[in-house]
């Protein structure tokens, strides 16, 4: 995985955030779900399921490495936000500071020292997967930290800022002006926050 690849004009869900095992400080322990024999295509889980499992493993590893240590039941939306900010160091998306002359330019003419971050679309899809995984692992929906209000607000802020900083629009105004109900976003199957763009502003 070339984490520094600049070919990231596309903030969609095609680029998995957490594919490399070295995304955490402890890369000596591979995920225990690593298959040694992937020979039978009939029993291969979908790409979404694979990604969801990798994301979940990464999050659990993050909890284990956390100081002070965290367990899943202790996890709140604030910890999820910490996790998302932690992931930013592995991001590939240039997000210009407001002071950068290229702020708002989709195709800057020159390099600049602004940081690389996780693209909003990647974070949004990631949260959707982790939210589903949390409940699949026995978590109660009403206590799901990935569905916390603070997380929704954070994602909305990231989306708005990245849209401005990168000069792109994340609004879904291709056909329907008002995305009500479930948006047809394939990679965020269980994202219930599809009405984020339509509320509160």
Which positions touch Zn ion (CB under 5 A)?
A: 96, 100, 102, 112, 114
* Shortest distance (Å) from residue 95 CB to Zn ion: 8
Q: How far is the CB of 114 from Zn ion (least distance, A)?
A: 3
Nearest distance from C-beta of residue 171 to Zn ion, angstroms: 23
What is the bridge-based pairing of β-strands 93-94 and 116-117?
antiparallel
Please say which residue, 81 or 114, places its beta carbon nearer to Zn ion: 114
Report phi then psi at 199, rounded to 5.
Answer: -125, 150
56 vs 102, beta carbon nearer Zn ion: 102
Q: Which is nearer to Zn ion, 46 or 99 (CB)?
A: 99
Q: Reduced to 3 states, what is the DSSP secondary structure of residue 117?
A: strand
Residue placing its CB nearer to Zn ion in the complex, 72 or 114: 114
Kindly give, in sequence order, each residue whose CB lies less than 8 Å from that of residue 145, ignoring residues fewer than 6 positions away: 75, 76, 77, 79, 80, 134, 151
Q: How far is the CB of 100 from Zn ion (least distance, A)?
A: 3
Q: How far apart (Å, rounded) are the C-alpha atoms in residues 81 and 70?
A: 14
Distance CA 131, CA 109 (A): 39
């Amino acid at each position: 995985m070339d984490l520094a690849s600049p070919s990231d004009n596309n903030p969609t869900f095609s680029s998995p955030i957490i594919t490399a095992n070295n995304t955490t400080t402890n890369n000596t322990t591979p995920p225990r779900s690593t298959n040694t024999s992937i020979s039978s295509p009939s029993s291969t889980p979908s790409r979404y399921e694979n990604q969801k499992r990798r994301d979940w493993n990464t999050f659990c590893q993050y909890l284990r490495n956390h100081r002070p240590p965290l367990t899943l039941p202790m996890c709140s939306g604030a910890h999820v936000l910490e996790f998302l900010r932690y992931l930013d160091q592995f991001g590939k998306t240039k997000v210009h500071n407001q002071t950068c002359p290229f702020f708002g330019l989709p195709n800057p003419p020159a390099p600049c020292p602004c940081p690389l971050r996780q693209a909003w679309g990647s974070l949004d899809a990631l949260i959707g997967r982790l939210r589903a995984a949390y409940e699949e692992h026995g978590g109660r929906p009403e206590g799901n930290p990935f569905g916390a209000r603070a997380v929704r607000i954070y994602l909305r802020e990231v989306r708005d800022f990245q849209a401005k900083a990168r000069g792109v629009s994340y609004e879904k105004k291709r056909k329907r002006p008002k995305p009500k109900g479930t948006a047809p976003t394939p990679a965020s199957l269980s994202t219930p926050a599809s009405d984020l763009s339509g509320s509160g502003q």
